[in-house]
């Protein structure tokens, strides 16, 4: 089983619908992230969480919200989806913060969202 | 605001040739990461560079970091088709999360 699991992997929805993307991890990391990938733009940070009570906006948080239900679970919601939110979404975890840790990100397989 | 710029954005090269991908960043940092992404797949960690002068090598790929110049390079030696992928660099400023470059799409032609 993957260490970082995202569901759903693919989703097609309509404008105005509420969508939730879920992420769970078995790596035991405190830090979790949501990134969005668009062609030619690399990955852009939506939200990040350093622990269950510490949630922060990234560079493109407008139109999104998150919930950190537990150390291992971090969900991303689109309250009212719009077509320009069509993208590939990645959840990631990090071991940054601990002595000797590298801070590298470990990614899930991605959730492809299409908003019609 | 941290900016991370990669060049080139697209690279088509022949098997057996050498080339370098550059990653420039705008803010002081001594942590830089390289990732590989195959089409339709997730990102896979290639190298973690944690100090000035760090050099890491894996097979035909070698990465280095010059924190004074705010520059990292990913050097490809004697390219093979299996190296075809998109390569991302990412920088950590210690404040929040990694900031990624736009990626370099590498295509190795037989």
Lowest mean pLDDT among A59-73, A77-91, B57-71, B82-96: B82-96
pLDDT tier at A97, thresholds 50, 70, 90: low
Tell me the C-alpha distance between B81 and B15, whole Å: 7
Length of chain A as a residue count: 116
φ/ψ region of A110 (left if φ > 0, alpha if ψ in -120 to 50, else beta) reads left
Percentage of chain B exceeding pLDDT 70: 97
Determine, for residues A105 and B48 on separate chains, whether the beta-carbon distance falls below 8 Å. Answer: no
Q: Which residue of B has its CA nearest to A88?
A: B40
Residues of chain B in contact with residue A56, where contact means CB-CB under 8 angstroms, are: 96
Q: Is the pLDDT of residue A96 over 90?
A: no
Q: Is the pLDDT of residue A56 over 70?
A: yes
- Distance from the Cα of A91 to chain B's closest Cα (Å) equals 10
Q: Is the pLDDT of residue A98 over 60?
A: no
Percentage of chain A exceeding pLDDT 90: 83
Taking any CB pair shorter than 8 Å as contact, residues of chain A touching chain B are 33, 35, 40-45, 48, 56, 58, 90, 94, 96, 102-110
Task: Sort strands A73-78 and A65-70 into parallel, antiparallel or unpaired.
Answer: antiparallel
Residues of chain B in contact with residue A96, where contact means CB-CB under 8 angstroms, are: 92
Largest CA distance in chain B: 43
Q: Alpha-carbon dihedral of residues A102, B41, A25, A15, nearest 10 degrees?
A: 120
Determine, for residues A96 and B92 on separate chains, whether the beta-carbon distance falls below 8 Å. Answer: yes
DSSP string, A24-70: EESS--SEEEEEEE-TTS-EEEEEEEEETTEEEE-TT-TT-EEEEEE
φ/ψ region of A52 (left if φ > 0, alpha if ψ in -120 to 50, else beta) reads alpha
Per the listing, tokens 């991303």 go with A76
B71 membership: H or E segment, kind and range: strand B71-76
Q: Which residue of A has its CA nearest to B32?
A: A104
Mutate to test the interface with A, among B4, B42, B54 (most CBs of A within 10 A): B42
**Chain centroid offset of residue B42 CA:** 16
Q: What is the pLDDT of residues B25-73, one digit of tens each?
A: 998 887 899 999 999 899 999 999 988 889 999 999 999 999 999 999 9
pLDDT tier at A100, thresholds 50, 70, 90: low
Determine, for residues A105 and B88 on separate chains, whether the beta-carbon distance falls below 8 Å. Answer: no
Determine, for residues A45 and B96 on separate chains, whether the beta-carbon distance falls below 8 Å. Answer: yes
């Amino acid at each position: 089983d993957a260490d970082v699991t995202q569901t759903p992997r693919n989703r097609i929805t309509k404008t105005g619908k509420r969508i939730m993307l879920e992420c769970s991890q078995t790596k035991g990391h405190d830090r979790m992230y949501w990134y969005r990938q668009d062609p030619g733009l690399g990955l852009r940070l939506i939200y990040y969480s350093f622990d269950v009570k510490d949630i922060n906006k990234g560079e493109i948080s407008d139109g999104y919200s998150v919930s950190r239900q537990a150390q291992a679970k971090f969900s991303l919601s689109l309250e009212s989806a719009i077509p320009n939110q069509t993208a590939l979404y990645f959840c990631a975890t990090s071991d940054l913060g601990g002595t000797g840790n590298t801070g590298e990100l470990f990614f899930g397989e991605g959730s492809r969202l299409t908003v019609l | 605001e941290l900016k991370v710029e990669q060049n080139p954005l697209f690279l088509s090269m022949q098997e057996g040739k050498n080339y370098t991908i550059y990653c420039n960043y705008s803010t002081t940092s001594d942590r830089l990461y390289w990732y590989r992404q195959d089409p339709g797949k997730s990102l896979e960690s290639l190298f973690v560079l944690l100090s000035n002068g760090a050099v890491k090598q894996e097979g035909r790929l070698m990465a280095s970091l010059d924190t004074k110049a705010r520059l990292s390079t990913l050097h490809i030696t004697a390219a093979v088709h299996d190296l075809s992928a998109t390569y991302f660099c990412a920088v950590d400023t210690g404040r929040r999360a990694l900031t990624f470059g736009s990626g370099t799409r590498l295509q190795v032609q037989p």
